[in-house]
Amino acid sequence: MSKPAIRLNRSLRAWGTPEFESILKKEIEQIDAGQLPLQQGLSTSSYALGNKLTAMFLSISDEGGFIRVKAGIFYNGIIAGCSCADDPTPADENNEYCEVQLDIDKTTANTTVALLSD
């Protein structure tokens, strides 16, 4: 089963306006966490949580037919245990961070997301 396409329609309509970054930030933070490479970006946890996403822009550029956005994503993860009554593993949330590249098609608003490696 394939994931539904990410479409950042409001961001595309706002491209070139002063509101673009705030609209883009809101849209990124509302993307279903399963559509972002959060699990692959973990550094201290074993399971990415999809709540409490925050985006920060590193760069935004016009690449012809695409709007290319490099963004830092702050999110939480946990170290998953067996959830047994005597499991010593705490279920505390850990702060996580990864960097992604979003390419927004300027015709369709279809957006691809790729994890940027260190």
Quote the pLDDT of residue 1: 47
Helix-, strand-, coil-residue percentages of the chain, each rounded to 5: 15, 45, 40
Residue range(s) defining the domain that contains residue 68 = 6-116
Please report, in tens digits, the pLDDT of each residue of the chain (118 residues total).
Answer: 456 689 999 999 999 999 999 999 999 999 998 999 999 999 988 889 988 899 999 999 999 999 999 999 999 999 876 566 666 655 688 999 999 999 999 999 999 999 998 6
In a domain? residue 111? yes
pTM of the model: 0.86
Run of H or E residues at 27: helix 20-30
- Say if 50 falls within a structural domain: yes
Q: Is residue 92 part of a domain?
A: yes
- 1 located within any domain: no
Q: What is residue 81's predicted lDDT score, i.e. its pLDDT?
A: 67
Q: Give the chain's domain count.
A: 1
Is 81 inside any structural domain? yes
Does 103 fall in a domain? yes
- Cα separation, 12 vs 17, in Å, equals 10
On whether residue 66 sits in a domain, the answer given is yes
